[in-house]
Amino acid sequence: MIDSARLFRAQEPLLATPPLPHNDSASTEAVHGEGEVLPEVAADPAPEAAEAPSDDYLRLQRRLLLATLIVSAIAVLITALAFNLHIAGSLLVGALGGLLYLRLLARSVGKLGNGAKKVGKTQLLVPVVLVLASARLPQLELLPALLGFLLYKPALILQVLLDS
């Protein structure tokens, strides 16, 4: 099957006929039909092939977190130079909240294949706590904190552009 988007990853080889029952003989060939001898094909996929999608996901996860960290650091530095340290601190708190949100979301998505049927909602507490903290603490400004929280989105766009 041609898969240009690399969305389909077969875990087992696609066969036109059902696999033959495995016998314990020392021979590595199976007899099929009227004396025709065919080589025996292993039905189990290689362990490396089964772990490859999770390794790819972990690498993507690390790249996204690193890109978010870099974009956040640049934005905090520019904000500190252009405005003041108070606003840069609020932006930094929001950016750390965005990193935490992205990490919780990635962990929740990573659990989808292991028995979980849907994505958890614990990561949604991060923006709620950020808004409540900015309302209660006079040192934290709401708008820079929310903009800092949303800095993970340009990092996602940057990763998509770099991957294509």
Phi, psi of 29 (to 5 degrees): -120, 150
Residues with Cβ within 8 Å of residue 56, at least 6 apart in sequence: none
Which string of DSSP letters, residue by residue, matches 111-159?
TTTTT--S--SGGGHHHHHHHHHHHH-TTS-HHHHHHHHTTHHHHHHHH
Residue 59 tokens read as: 């690498």
Residue type, 92: L
pLDDT in tens, 109-152: 888 877 777 888 889 999 999 999 999 999 999 999 999 999 99
Q: Is the pTM of this model over 0.75?
A: no
